[in-house]
Structure 1
Amino acid sequence: MGLHNWVQIYLQEKLNCIDYKGYKARDKDMPDVNDHVINLQFSWKGLVKPVGSSFIGVSPEFEVALFTIIFLKSNERVTNAVVKVDEYLLEVVVCRHGRAIGTSYPKLLSSNNRDL
């Protein structure tokens, strides 16, 4: 389904399939124009996703490049890499599905600890 991508989240919300619950920005209460990664909570078709994460407003080329680099660096079924991108400390997760990427997503590590 790809609910780690802001375009898919938007399309599912437009179809009334997602009930958005809230977000966490990095180290602050409100995101601003410089925030490009958020943790969010939503329900999709009645199932609650307690914490999901997504890049927001970055180019598809950036996402493809980042996830491809992580994919190519390991042959493990799941590869976790901690990276610093601009001001963000992220854990990037890439899961293999055979010779392809099955799923991939960022986890925002440098965020505040307030509840959603």
Structure 2
Amino acid sequence: MSGYHSWVKFYLDEKNQRVNYLGYKYDLKGEDGSQNPNVVTLQMINNVINMQGKVIAQLFKFKGGFFVGPSPECEMAMATVAYYESVHGKIIDKRRISINSATYDLVLYRSTNPNGSRGDFIRSFFPIFLGMDDGEIPNTDEPVVVPIDEVTKNNGVVIIVASQPNPEGNDEGYEWVELQNTTNEAIDLSGWKLQDKLNRPEEINGTLQPQEVKRFTISRANPNSMQLGNSSGIISLLNSAGQEVAMVSYSRASSGEVIRFGS
């Protein structure tokens, strides 16, 4: 099965900091606040990495979701029923159901054969929450792939000027990133952080004086801390509100090489 449609997968990824939770706003009907505790509807931004480990694009999925709480066996059983309904022509890709007074479309995508017909395997299975009463199907656009060059930015109040992802010898404690304050006012970095391409954080602090360039060591304090890859990577800078201030990408870094980034 493919697709980010399991609460267990989301829980484990968030626990291990492979998911960066960007905020909470439930607005299928333009309202804040949870309407149904049994399902999550979410948007996702995912870094697309090729076989060499290089980030080549960013994928944005407008809206998806998953049930919260059921066992994997329960979800597989629901998908199996929907699969056999699809095999016998009772449904195509969606099955309208009601569970505990909530209305859903259960979406089932089967594999595709070379001739274009539907195959014998379940490719993806997930719910679309339509509301506590019958309602219109919300907008669920296909994922949009954006080339990485179009989402990197390095022209704000603080920019990333240089980095050494692959120091000679031991990497631990010797990787670093240099930041520059481009303004004429001091900037307090309390609550700011750097992140790698897997959104693993490195907390930073201190003050950047006007036009100052300062170097920050990547500590690799634990496996979930920021680590700069040697083959390629992304470096992001977030302020205390969690807003992205700068993001740069790089390809393979030679041993001891200092990579400099333009604004």
Q: Which has the larger radius of gyration?
A: 2
**Counterpart mapping for 1:1-116 below 5 A:** 1-21=2-22, 22-24=24-26, 29-31=32-34, 35-45=37-47, 46-75=58-87, 78-97=92-111, 98-110=119-131
Q: Report if aligned partners of 2:25, 2:32 keep a CA contact under 8 Å in 1.
A: no
Q: Which has the higher strand share?
A: 1
1:19 is displaced (CA, Å) by 3.0
- Residues 2-56 of structure 1 show CA distances to partners (whole Å, capped at 9, x for unaligned) of 4111111223334444333435288763338x61112112222242222111111
TM-score of the aligned structures, taking structure 1 as reference length: 0.75
Provide the identity percentage: 29
Specify whether residues 15 and 100 from structure 1 end up closer, same or farther in structure 2 by C-alpha distance, changes over 3 A only: same
Q: Distance in 1 between matches of 2:28 and 2:120?
A: 34
Tell me how large the CA RMSD over aligned residues is.
2.9
List alignment gaps of at least 5 residues for structure 1. none
2:41 partner amino acid = N
1:72 Cα deviation after fit: 0.5
Relative distance call for 1:51 and 1:20 in structure 2 (3 A) is: farther
Please give the TM-score of this superposition, normalised by the length of structure 2. 0.37
* Structure 1 position 78, deviation (Å): 4.9
Structure 2, unpaired ranges of 5+: 48-57, 112-118, 136-263
Higher helix share: 1
Q: Rate the CA distance shift 1:23–1:58 in 2: closer, same or farther, 3 A.
A: farther
Conserved? CA contact 1:3–1:9, under 8 Å: yes
- Relative contact order, CA 8 A, sep 6+: which one is greater? 1
One-letter amino acid matched to 2:7: W
Q: Distance in 2 between matches of 1:48 and 1:17?
A: 16
C-alpha contact (below 8 Å) 2:40/2:65 kept by paired residues? yes
Q: Is the 8 A contact 1:83 1:89 kept in 2?
A: yes
Per-residue deviation, 1:110: 0.8
Alignment length, in residue pairs?
A: 111
In 2 relative to 1, CA 68–59 (structure 1 residues): closer, same or farther, beyond 3 Å?
same
**Separation in structure 2 between the aligned mates of residue 41 and residue 24 of structure 1, nearest angstrom:** 10
Q: Secondary structure at the match of 2:93?
A: strand
In 2 relative to 1, CA 55–23 (structure 1 residues): closer, same or farther, beyond 3 Å? Answer: farther
In structure 2, the CA distance between the partners of 1:66 and 1:25, relative to structure 1 (3 Å rule), is farther
